[in-house]
C-alpha cells in the first residue's frame, strides 16, 4: 500500500473513504467501532496525501488505524468500555497514539472492548457486544474484540489493543488476524487506562506479521512518562519477517498440548509445527511445570492490582457520578425512618460515602465488581500472605520456568486458545469457563515476555480461524516476527 501511495496510484483519502463505506455497511451488525471519526479522518487523509506527495510522509503515512477505547486521545472520549467513563474526555494523548500520529498514521475511530479490559469475549462492554465477522453468532474474543473484528472485516488497516492476560492475542486468534503483545516495558503505557499495571501492555493487531513489526517499531521505545518503559534500543522488527526459520529452535511445551485442547485445533497447530520443521526449524520438547497454576495466580494478582487501580473512580474528580441530590434525600429519609422507630443511626454511612458507593454501583458492570471484590479480599489484612504474597512467589516460579526453557530454545510454540470462537452467551454465566479460554496466553503476561498470535488456518469442522502462538525471551520480538511470518507464508501457500 505504501508503494501505491507513493506512486500516486492510491490516495490516503480514497483508502479512508473505502474503509468508511465498509464501516457503514458492517458496523451496525459487528459493533467493532464505538466511535468513527468520519470527518477528522478524511481531513487528515488529505493532509497526509500532501505530505506523501512532497516526499515528507512518515513511516506510517496513510496507515488507517483504530484505537482501543482504553487508550486515550486528546479531545476524544475514552470510555474503556464502561459506563463509569461514558462521558470522559481525555486532555492528553497516550504516547502510543502520539507516536502513530507523529509518523502520519490516520486515526479512524475507537474500538469496542470488555469493560476495563476484563473479559475474553467483548460481551462485558457496557455498550453492547462486538460480533465475530466470520460468524456473527460468535464472539470476537476479548478484551480487544473490537480491534480484532475491525481488522478482520477490512474496516481499517490495523488497530491498537491492550493485553493484560491475552487480550490482543486471543481476539486476534478468534478473528483470523495477527496480534502482538510486546515485552512488558517495550511500549509506553502512558495513556492506557490501567487494569493491572504490572501486566498491561499496548500492541498492534494487523493483517500481516510484517505490519505488526512495523507498527511496533513506531510504538516502542523509552518514554519519560512511563517509568517502566525500557530504554533498550528499538530494533528493525519488520525486517525479521523476511528471515527463514532455518536453525530456529522451537520449544514445544507439553502442558500446552494436553487436556482441554480441542482436538482439531491441536491437530492444525501441530501440522504447522511439522511444516516449520520441514523448513529447517528444530523442534525441542520441553516442560513448563507451573502452567497449571497460571490462571489462579493471574486472577489473584490481576484482581489485586485492579482493585487498587479502580479505586480512583469515586465519581468526584471524574467518571460517573450518581444523582447527588437523590442520594442525600434517600439518606435523610432513611435516617428519619430509623429515628422514628427509635433506632440508632450512628452506623449509617455519611452522605459522601453514600455518593461514592452509589456512583460505583451504577458505573461498574458485574464482572468489574466481581474483580474489585476479589482483589480487595486477597489484599485484605489476614489474607494478604495466603493469597497475594503466595501468588507473587508463584509468579516468580512461572518466570523461572520460561528462563529455563529459553536456555534450550529461541521461541515457544502453542495454540493461542484451546478452541475457536465460542457462541455469544455461551460462557457468560460461568466466569471460570471464560477465564479458562486464556490458559495459553496468561503465562506470557506473568513472565513479562513478548508473544504473538498469527492465523494457522481454518478449523477442519467449524471453518473458523485458528491461531498459533509464539512466545520469546524478553525483548526478542524479532524472533516472534520471524517465526510468525513463516507460518503466515505457509498459510498463504507462499512457501
Render the burial of 218-231: b for 16+ CB within 10 Å, e for the rest: bbbbbbeebeebbe
**Of the candidates 206, 72, 62, the residue with the CA atom closest to the CA atom of residue 148:** 206
Minimum distance from residue 166 beta carbon to ligand GLN (Å): 5
Nearer to ligand GLN (CB atom), residue 71 or residue 240: 71
Nearer to ligand GLN (CB atom), residue 70 or residue 250: 70
Bridge partners, residue 441, by sequence:
none
Q: Are 454 and 460 in contact (CB under 8 A)?
A: no
Gap between the Cα atoms of 495 and 488, Å rounded: 9
Q: Which residue has the cell 458505573?
A: 363
Minimum distance from residue 96 beta carbon to ligand GLN (Å): 15
Please report which residue ranges of 61-180 form alpha helices under DSSP H.
95-102, 145-152, 169-175
- Quick one: how far is CA 231 from the chain centroid? 23
Q: Is 147 an annotated catalytic residue?
A: no
Minimum distance from residue 118 beta carbon to ligand GLN (Å): 5
Cell numbers of 364, please? 461498574
Catalytic-labelled residue, pool 167, 229, 230, 453: 167
Q: Are 96 and 71 in contact (CB under 8 A)?
A: yes
Gap between the Cα atoms of 162 and 143, Å rounded: 8
- Tell me the three state secondary structure of residue 132: strand
Gap between the Cα atoms of 121 and 319, Å rounded: 24
Minimum distance from residue 195 beta carbon to ligand GLN (Å): 6
Write phi, then psi, for 175 (nearest 5 degrees): -100, 0
Cell numbers of 353, please? 460515602
Q: Which residue has the cell 518466570?
A: 399
Angle between helices 477-491 and 263-278 (to 10 degrees): 100
Nearer to ligand GLN (CB atom), residue 278 or residue 432: 432
Minimum distance from residue 426 beta carbon to ligand GLN (Å): 15
Minimum distance from residue 182 beta carbon to ligand GLN (Å): 13
Q: Is 325 an annotated catalytic residue?
A: no
- Tell me the three state secondary structure of residue 286: strand
Minimum distance from residue 435 beta carbon to ligand GLN (Å): 7
Nearer to ligand GLN (CB atom), residue 147 or residue 358: 147
- Tell me the three state secondary structure of residue 188: coil
Nearer to ligand GLN (CB atom), residue 117 or residue 152: 117
Query: How many C-beta neighbours within 10 Å does residue 46 have?
Result: 13
Minimum distance from residue 421 beta carbon to ligand GLN (Å): 14
Catalytic-labelled residue, pool 90, 125, 143, 437: 143
Nearer to ligand GLN (CB atom), residue 37 or residue 299: 299
Gap between the Cα atoms of 495 and 163, Å rounded: 31
Nearer to ligand GLN (CB atom), residue 410 or residue 438: 438
Cis peptide bond N-terminal to 333, omega within 30: no
Helix (H) or strand (E) holding 196: none
Gap between the Cα atoms of 21 and 152, Å rounded: 15
Minimum distance from residue 66 beta carbon to ligand GLN (Å): 17
Catalytic-labelled residue, pool 68, 173, 417, 437: 68
Gap between the Cα atoms of 428 and 460, Å rounded: 26
Nearer to ligand GLN (CB atom), residue 166 or residue 182: 166
Q: Is 359 an annotated catalytic residue?
A: no
Q: Are 162 and 144 in contact (CB under 8 A)?
A: yes
Gap between the Cα atoms of 94 and 442, Å rounded: 25
Binding residues for ligand GLN, rule: CB under 6 A, are 117-120, 143, 163-167, 195, 302, 438
Nearer to ligand GLN (CB atom), residue 119 or residue 319: 119
Catalytic residues: 68, 143, 167
Amino acid at each position: 500500500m505504501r508503494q501505491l501511495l507513493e506512486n500516486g496510484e492510491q490516495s490516503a483519502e480514497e483508502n479512508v473513504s473505502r474503509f468508511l463505506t465498509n464501516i457503514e455497511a458492517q458496523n451496525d451488525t459487528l459493533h467493532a467501532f464505538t466511535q468513527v471519526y468520519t470527518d477528522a479522518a478524511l481531513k487528515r487523509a488529505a493532509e497526509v496525501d500532501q505530505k506523501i506527495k512532497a516526499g515528507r510522509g512518515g513511516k506510517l503515512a496513510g496507515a488507517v488505524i483504530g484505537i482501543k477505547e482504553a487508550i486515550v486521545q486528546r479531545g476524544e472520549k475514552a470510555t474503556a468500555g464502561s459506563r463509569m467513563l461514558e462521558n470522559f474526555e481525555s486532555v492528553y494523548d497516550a504516547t502510543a497514539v502520539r507516536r502513530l500520529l507523529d509518523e502520519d498514521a490516520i486515526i479512524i475511530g475507537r474500538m469496542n472492548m470488555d469493560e476495563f479490559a476484563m473479559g475474553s469475549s467483548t460481551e462485558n462492554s457496557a455498550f453492547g457486544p462486538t460480533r465475530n465477522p466470520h460468524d456473527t453468532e460468535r464472539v470476537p474474543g476479548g478484551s480487544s474484540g473490537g480491534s480484532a473484528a475491525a481488522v478482520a472485516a477490512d474496516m481499517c488497516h490495523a488497530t491498537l489493543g491492550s493485553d493484560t492476560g491475552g487480550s490482543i492475542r486471543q481476539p486476534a486468534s478468534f478473528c483470523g488476524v495477527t496480534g502482538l503483545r510486546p515485552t512488558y516495558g517495550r511500549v509506553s503505557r502512558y495513556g492506557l487506562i490501567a487494569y493491572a499495571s504490572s501486566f498491561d501492555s499496548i500492541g498492534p493487531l494487523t493483517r500481516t506479521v510484517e505490519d505488526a513489526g512495523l507498527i511496533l517499531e513506531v510504538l516502542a521505545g523509552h518514554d519519560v512518562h512511563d517509568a517502566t518503559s525500557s530504554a533498550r534500543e528499538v530494533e528493525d522488527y519488520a525486517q525479521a519477517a523476511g528471515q527463514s526459520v532455518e536453525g530456529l529452535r522451537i520449544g514445544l511445551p507439553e502442558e500446552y498440548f494436553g487436556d482441554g485442547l480441542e482436538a482439531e485445533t491441536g491437530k492444525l497447530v501441530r501440522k504447522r509445527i511439522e511444516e516449520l520443521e520441514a523448513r529447517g526449524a528444530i523442534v525441542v520438547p520441553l516442560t513448563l511445570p507451573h502452567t497449571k497454576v497460571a490462571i489462579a495466580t493471574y486472577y489473584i494478582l490481576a484482581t489485586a492490582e485492579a482493585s487498587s487501580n479502580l479505586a480512583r473512580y469515586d465519581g468526584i474528580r471524574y467518571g460517573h457520578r450518581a444523582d447527588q441530590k437523590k442520594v442525600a434525600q434517600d439518606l435523610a429519609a432513611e435516617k428519619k425512618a430509623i429515628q422514628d422507630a427509635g433506632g440508632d443511626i450512628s452506623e449509617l454511612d455519611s452522605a459522601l460515602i453514600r455518593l461514592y458507593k452509589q456512583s460505583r454501583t451504577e458505573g461498574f458492570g458485574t464482572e468489574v465488581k466481581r474483580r474489585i471484590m476479589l482483589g480487595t479480599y486477597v489484599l485484605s489484612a489476614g489474607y494478604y500472605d495466603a493469597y497475594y504474597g503466595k501468588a507473587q512467589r508463584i509468579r516468580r516460579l512461572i518466570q523461572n520456568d520460561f528462563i529455563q526453557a529459553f536456555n534450550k530454545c529461541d521461541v515457544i510454540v502453542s495454540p493461542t486458545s484451546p478452541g475457536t470462537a465460542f457462541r455469544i452467551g455461551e460462557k457468560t454465566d460461568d466466569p471460570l469457563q471464560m477465564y479458562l479460554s486464556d490458559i495459553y496466553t496468561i503465562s506470557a503476561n506473568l513472565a513479562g515476555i513478548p508473544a504473538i498470535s498469527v492465523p494457522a488456518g481454518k478449523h477442519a469442522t467449524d471453518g473458523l480461524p485458528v491461531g498459533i502462538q509464539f512466545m520469546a525471551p524478553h525483548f526478542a520480538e524479532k524472533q516472534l516476527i520471524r517465526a510468525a511470518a513463516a507460518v503466515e507464508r505457509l498459510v498463504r501457500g507462499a512457501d
